[in-house]
Structure 1
Amino acid sequence: MKPFKETLLEKVKETDHELLACFDRKFDTPDIIVSAMKYSLFAGGKRLRPILMKETCRCLGGDSADVKPLACAIEMIHTYSLIHDDLPAMDNDDLRRGKPTNHKVYGENMAILAGDALLNYAMETAIAGIPVDPSKTFHYTRALSYLAHSSGVNGMIGGQTGDILSENEAINEEKMYYIHAHKTGALLKAAVLCGGFVAKVTGEERDALETYSEKIGLAFQIVDDILDVTGDEKTLGKPVGSDEKNHKSTFVSLYGMASSQEKIRELENGALDALATIDHDTSFLEDMAKYICQREN
């Protein structure tokens, strides 16, 4: 059996190819905005969200090709959020994935527009992928609706808003969980559930996938909080100490390093327990949970 990281790398390359195909067309716009969009989209992301979406669909017996437009869309949405996160008005970061952030290369105005363009192009891509087969249309549009919901004010945007409002404030546990579940967790949860919806997930399977995705989403953010303290810029490809610089409360500042690491172990075990209730081969999703919880960048 291949090591998981080798398998993951193959799926990253596959996803990169699918994203490139989305740009294999003529755009009726100045070239600079397309260049700015592609600069961040192809800067070397992990592609966890599109891969999770396709693999969840596959593991439940669906055709991963059916969910491909949504998978490309979620990566565009994720990338737009990073471009905007890095802006001076937000986290004011100069480095992302080992490269200068979008606004450092293209200027703040083009970076804002590049983020806006990626969000809108994500919706264009997802809508264009609605299947004509009536037996698939409902399930796909259900997933599309959930993706839009998860990236909006009830999901990622809500979490980002809470994160900004928490600067210079010692927040409590309730606010901490809200921010993490929405800012980071919402799109990871959408990745898993959208794959499930397209695969015509049952009620019990959906419950298990919700638990799994919520736990890996929270774990992902706690690992980020830890790496912001213990990591190094070269390995992470972005500045460390951003949370302290922006006076943000994190799991580490709220609970301490040891408790945060213990929480990750609990979340990993909980995610694996949830998958054990699904009567399909969930080995890839299991390995993904371990990877997310044990990653070093």
Structure 2
Amino acid sequence: MKEFDRQLHERVRRAEKVLTTYLPKEEEASFCLNVVQAMNYSVLSGGKRLRPVLMESSFELFHGENRDLLHPFMAAIEMIHTYSLVHDDLPAMDNDLYRRGRKTTHAVYGAGMATLAGDGLLNFAFETALLSFAAAGNSAETECVISALRILADKAGIYGMVGGQGADLYAEHDQALLADEKQAEETLLYIHEHKTAAMIESSLMIGALLAGATKEQVGSMEQVGSKVGLAFQMQDDILDVTGNEKTLGKPIGSDEKNEKLTCVSLYGLS
């Protein structure tokens, strides 16, 4: 376990270094400085860096060599993940004031600036991912970058994370849905597969793709990502009830407060 922890720590450190390299420079921001500061505050508030770590691990699994292709996507996927958290914390969504042990972006900069920071991170993520084209050494690598961009956009959009978030909001306060167990189970699975698992699938798929994996291998990584994402969200649902606010760095009981459809609300803890 110590060796695993050591390797994980090293991978997180590398992900942090890559991410910092691609963040917008505040000294170059001029009139948009407030937005850039809010963006950087959001990204640099800590976190597991799970998605870029998984992307790099998948890249190494398939013996990828050109890390200049990989690094912009590692940064991009964490920017997209962070934007989703910034918007998720907004008063119109979950209205959370703390995340990762620090005040949320809207609690520091206001809801309007936090909204713009999230918008900025989403767009800057794709600006960053596009930098991989400059690192493509041949037509095959260029095609891989194009395919990776398609995956990133698809998994982050209305047929992925955004769609899952929409279903999550729609299911809030819906007691009739909980009464229909079959419908509730189908809705919960859709939410977890899209809101959480989609971006984890994206991480593993893009890492494999940029390493030169076959279409079948990339598909297999998508399946792995789906299982990892579902397990991750199930744990998150449980920790919202059983966790410690100091350890988690955010308030517990948020799901119950917002009457969300979760594994716990549907099945209980046992």
What TM-score results when the alignment is normalised by the length of structure 2?
A: 0.91
Match of 1:168 in 2: 173
1:24 positional shift: 6.4
Q: Does 1:144 align with 2:149?
A: yes
The equivalent position to 2:203 in structure 1, one of 191, 214, 217, is 191
Match of 1:15 in 2: 15
The equivalent position to 2:94 in structure 1, one of 91, 112, 115, is 91
> d(CA) in 2 for partners of 1:187 and 1:226?
21
The equivalent position to 2:234 in structure 1, one of 222, 228, 251, is 222
- Which stretch shows the higher mean deviation, 123-132 or 98-107? 123-132
Any residues of structure 2 matched to 1:61-210 within 5 Å, and which?
Answer: 61-63=63-65, 65=67, 66-130=69-133, 131-133=135-137, 134-170=139-175, 171=177, 172-210=184-222
> d(CA) in 2 for partners of 1:221 and 1:155?
15
Asked if the contact 1:228–1:242 (Cα under 8 Å) also holds between the matched residues in 2, the reply is yes
Residue by residue, what CA displacement relative to the aligned partner does 1:25-81 show, whole Å, maximum 9, x if unpaired?
423542111110111101011100011111101111112612110110000000000
SS at match of 1:184: helix
Match of 1:56 in 2: 58
> d(CA) in 2 for partners of 1:58 and 1:110?
38
Residue by residue, what CA displacement relative to the aligned partner does 1:81-126 show, whole Å, maximum 9, x if unpaired?
0000000000000100000100010011110000000001001000
Relative to structure 1, is the Cα distance of residues 120 and 207 closer, same or farther in structure 2, using a 3 angstrom cutoff? closer
SS at match of 1:92: coil
Asked if the contact 1:102–1:111 (Cα under 8 Å) also holds between the matched residues in 2, the reply is yes
Give the alignment's Cα RMSD to 1 decimal.
1.5
1:178 positional shift: 0.2
**Which runs of 4 or more aligned residues in structure 1 lie more than 4 Å from their structure 2 counterparts after TM superposition?**
none
The equivalent position to 1:211 in structure 2, one of 223, 246, 260, is 223
What TM-score results when the alignment is normalised by the length of structure 1?
A: 0.83
- Which stretch shows the higher mean deviation, 35-44 or 25-34? 25-34
1:256 positional shift: 2.2
- Which stretch shows the higher mean deviation, 152-161 or 59-68? 59-68
Any residues of structure 2 matched to 1:254-273 within 5 Å, and which?
Answer: 254-258=266-270
Match of 1:272 in 2: none
Match of 1:39 in 2: 41
1:210 positional shift: 2.2
Identity of aligned residues (%): 48
Give the letter aligned to residue 101 of structure 1.
T
**Which runs of no fewer than 5 residues in structure 1 stay unpaired?**
259-297
**Which runs of no fewer than 5 residues in structure 2 stay unpaired?**
178-183
